[in-house]
């Protein structure tokens, strides 16, 4: 159940023990451990809990789950732990809930209106009046519908109580049977979706396959860094980067662009910094993992970015780094339409837009209307003219459209200096200074803050309480996820959970992800990119089962745990 303040309560004993072994245990003394343990064995060599404790903590159930779905289930888990290197440990487990019987069903969609654009759309749930009316219509058409209440999860910035109501028809053993039944419902004049009830966050999942990497900076002598390899305008699989770099453990990183309509594929859709250089700006204020001094010091904070170009006494706000002018993936920038607020998986527009390109943008520069200024290593104007070409080695490029193009044209005399000041700050106003061995990976939302579940889904743009057509599947439905956390001893936790695999692994909701990270002892945690992007590689080999039918997905940036003396 949830606390009245919206946090998820700690389970007895977990807060004291932290979920991971204290330094000085077997892992801390450098003893190789690879163990498969049954459900009745105490994990003394791996974890201070019994397996039953781990299962209880790692298999969160929503407070509103039906009693028949949750209370009757019995959770168990079998963990395998491998010491990859001194200070680096990887744990693999499958959380099973017996007595849980998910099935395929047909969910009726509700007519809705996109709150930002006013365009008609569909939502997987609506209010009780719609649900009751729809159920009567289905009954009159010869179907046997059921109406299901959907509660709000324990988000920090959404309402409590009932989120809405779903109307469903049937329970089927196979997807094919549900698809066949859906055709009859569609023929009756309803819009439907075929769904697996095991993805519902309001009942226990039958199986969830998780991988947990624990990196202890007190024992590990290598580095942990976020990287986009040599080009921010590129996509590679997590395991490809891991194999080439010789990393010990790797996971996928932040959000990135996957379609030409949204910008240059592979470029980040949020804050990113590599080797001490800011390579992409934040989408509003969103969660970020800061890996300072090669990962020796890590922290999680909500970060924003302010970048300003200055020529003499005149200045102009830069709204993007290494992205197409006029296109802001995930929104969150001043002047953007239809919203200046973060909005996940939405591309907003900027009519007046100034964008900086760095040497890591190793692709053809965007073309089109506007002005481009090429700067040398000392930030002096080399040339000005139409947009296009490439970023010169050691230099940079500014592109402007609208009023930004006018400003550039007025300050682009050859030899004139145009400096660019970059400012990264957390919500307390503290500035994040980047050193040469620092990197930042960002996504959304925050999951855990100060040891408590603190999911700011609305503020970070993953859910909209005023528009149920947006964010429900992404937030409230179980999905493959990648998460990062930091425990009280400064250990970094990198976690993947597989999903979209009925009967194999169903993933986590955001709330379940927060609870799971707390069960590991995380004091701070955030959600990274997920879905088909979720991947973990150990020793350069993919160890989880990704959800894309075409195989491991090429992604933007990744987090790599690199051995000592890595070049």
Q: Does residue 8 carry a pLDDT above 90?
A: no
Q: Give residue 567's pLDDT band: very low, low, confident or very high (50, 70, 90).
A: low
For 564, the token pair is: 């000592």
Residue 423 φ then ψ, to 5°: -135, 120
Please tell me the number of Cα atoms within 13 Å of 561 on its side-chain side: 29
The pLDDT tens digits for 376-408 are 999 999 999 999 999 999 999 999 999 999 999
pLDDT at 538 over 80: yes
Contact (CB, 8 A) for 8 and 452: yes
Which residues have C-beta within 8 Å of that of residue 503, sequence separation ≥ 6?
Answer: 198, 206, 207
Query: Cβ distance 444 to 344 under 8 Å?
Result: yes
How far apart CA 212 and CA 435 sit, in angstroms, is 28
Q: Determine the Cα angle at 266 with ends 539 and 317, to 5°.
A: 125
Burial 149-161 (b: 16+ CB within 10 A, else e): bbbbbbbbebeee
Q: Distance between CA atoms of 165 and 554, rounded to whole angstroms?
A: 37
**How do residues 437-496 score in pLDDT, each as one tens digit?**
999 999 999 999 999 999 999 999 999 999 999 999 999 999 999 999 999 999 999 999
Q: Is residue 339 within 8 Å of 349, Cβ to Cβ?
A: no
Kind and range of the H or E element at 403? helix 403-410
The pLDDT value given to residue 53: 36
pLDDT band at 370 (very low <50, low <70, confident <90, very high): very high
With the CA atoms of 340, 282, 509 and 103 taken in that order, what torsion angle do they form, in degrees rounded to the nearest 10?
70
pLDDT digits 0-9 by tens, 295-327: 999 999 999 999 999 999 999 999 999 999 999
What pLDDT, on a 0 to 100 scale, did the predictor assign at position 565? Answer: 80
Q: What is the largest CA-CA distance in the chain?
A: 78
Burial class (CB in 10 A: 0-12, 13-18, 19+), 399: buried
Q: CA dist 322 to 39, 136, 232, 258, 362, Å?
A: 50, 53, 8, 15, 10
**Residue 230 pLDDT grade (very low, low, confident, very high; cuts 50, 70, 90):** confident
DSSP symbol at 433: P
Quick one: which of 106, 100, 117 has its CA closest to 205?
100
Centroid of chain to Cα 42: 33
The mean per-residue pLDDT over the stretch 499-503 comes to 94
Beta strands 110-113 and 120-123, pairing class:
antiparallel
What is the pLDDT at residue 2?
Answer: 34
CA 181, 184, 188, 191 torsion-angle sign: positive
Q: How many helices (H) and strands (E) does the chain have?
A: 9, 34
* Nearest by Cα to 557 from 480, 479, 438, 442: 442
Q: What is the pLDDT of residue 281?
A: 98
Q: Is the preceding peptide bond at 338 cis, omega within 30 degrees of 0? A: yes
The three-class DSSP label of residue 67 is: helix
pLDDT at 76: 85
Q: Identify the helix (H) or strand (E) that includes residue 538.
A: strand 536-538
Per-residue pLDDT at 23 exceeds 50:
no
- pLDDT band for 166, please (50, 70, 90 cuts): very high
What is the rounded average pLDDT of the residues 497-513?
96
pLDDT for 332-362, tens place per residue? 999 999 999 999 999 999 999 999 999 999 9
The span from the CA of 291 to the CA of 539, in Å, is 21
CB 96 within 8 A of CB 52: no
Task: Please tell me whether residue 348 adopts helix, strand or coil conformation.
Answer: strand
**Mean pLDDT (whole number) for 13-35:** 33
Bridging pattern class, strands 207-215 and 492-497: antiparallel
The pLDDT, as a whole number, for residue 17 is 34
Higher local confidence (pLDDT), 205 or 7: 205
**pLDDT confidence of residue 73:** 56
* 3-class SS letters over 352-401: CEEEEECCCCCCCCCCCCCEEEEECCCCEEEEEECCCCCCCCCCEEEEEE
For the chain, give the percent of residues with pLDDT over 70: 87
> Nearest-5° angle of CA 83, CA 87, CA 90?
40
Phi, psi of 389 (to 5 degrees): 90, -145
DSSP secondary structure string, 247-264? -SEEEE-S-B--SGGGSS
- Which secondary structure element, helix H or strand E, spans residue 16, and what is its range? helix 14-17
Cis peptide before 84, with omega less than 30 degrees from 0?
no
The pLDDT of residue 78: 85
What is residue 99's predicted lDDT score, i.e. its pLDDT?
Answer: 87
């Amino acid at each position: 159940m949830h606390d009245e303040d919206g946090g998820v309560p700690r389970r007895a004993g977990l807060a004291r023990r932290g979920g991971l072994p204290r330094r000085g245990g077997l892992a801390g003394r450098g003893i190789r451990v690879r163990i498969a343990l049954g459900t009745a064995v105490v994990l003394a060599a791996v974890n201070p809990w019994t397996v039953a404790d781990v299962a209880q903590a790692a298999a969160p159930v929503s407070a509103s789950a039906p009693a028949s779905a949750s209370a009757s289930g019995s959770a168990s888990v079998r963990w395998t732990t491998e010491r990859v290197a001194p200070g680096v440990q990887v744990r693999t487990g499958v959380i099973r809930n017996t007595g849980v019987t998910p099935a395929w069903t047909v969910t009726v969609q509700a007519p809705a209106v996109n709150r930002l654009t006013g365009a008609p759309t569909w939502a997987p749930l609506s209010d009780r009046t719609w649900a009751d009316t729809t159920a009567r219509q289905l009954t009159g058409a010869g179907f046997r519908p059921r109406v299901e209440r959907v509660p709000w999860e324990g988000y920090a910035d959404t309402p409590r109580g009932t989120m809405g109501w779903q109307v469903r028809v049937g329970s089927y053993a196979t997807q094919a049977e549900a698809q066949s039944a859906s055709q009859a419902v569609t023929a009756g004049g309803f819009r439907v979706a075929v769904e697996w009830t095991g993805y519902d966050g309001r009942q226990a999942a039958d199986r969830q396959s998780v991988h947990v990497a624990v990196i202890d900076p007190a024992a590990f002598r290598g580095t942990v860094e976020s990287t986009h390899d040599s080009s921010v305008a590129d996509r590679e699989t997590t395991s490809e980067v891991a194999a080439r770099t010789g990393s010990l453990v790797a996971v996928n990183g932040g959000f990135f662009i996957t379609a030409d309509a949204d910008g240059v594929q592979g470029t980040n859709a949020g804050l990113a910094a590599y080797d001490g250089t800011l390579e992409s700006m934040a989408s509003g204020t969103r969660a970020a993992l800061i890996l300072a001094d090669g990962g020796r010091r890590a922290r999680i904070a909500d970060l924003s970015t302010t970048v300003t170009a200055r020529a003499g006494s005149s200045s102009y706000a830069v709204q993007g780094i290494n992205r197409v002018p006029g296109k802001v993936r995930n929104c969150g920038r001043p002047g953007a339409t239809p919203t200046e607020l973060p909005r996940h998986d939405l591309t907003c527009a900027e009519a007046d837009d100034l964008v900086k390109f760095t040497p890591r943008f190793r692709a053809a520069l965007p073309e089109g209307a506007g002005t481009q200024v090429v700067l040398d290593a000392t930030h002096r104007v080399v040339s000005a003219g139409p947009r296009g070409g490439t970023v010169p080695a050691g230099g940079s490029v500014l592109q402007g459209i609208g009023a930004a193009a006018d400003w550039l044209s007025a300050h682009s005399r050859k030899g004139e200096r145009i400096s660019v000041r970059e400012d990264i700050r957390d919500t307390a106003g503290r500035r994040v200074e980047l050193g040469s061995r620092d990197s930042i990976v960002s996504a959304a939302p925050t999951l855990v803050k100060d040891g408590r579940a603190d999911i700011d889904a609305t503020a970070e743009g993953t859910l909209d309480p005023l528009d149920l057509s947006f964010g429900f599947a992404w937030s409230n439905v179980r999905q493959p996820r990648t998460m990062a956390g930091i425990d009280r001893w400064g250990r970094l936790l990198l976690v993947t959970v597989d999903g979209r695999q009925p009967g194999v692994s169903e993933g986590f909701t955001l709330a379940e992800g927060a609870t799971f990270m707390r069960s590991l002892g995380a004091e701070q945690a955030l959600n990274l990119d997920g879905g088909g992007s979720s991947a973990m590689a150990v020793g350069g080999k993919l160890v989880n089962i990704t959800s894309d039918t075409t195989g491991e997905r090429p992604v933007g940036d990744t987090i790599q745990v690199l051995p000592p003396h890595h070049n």
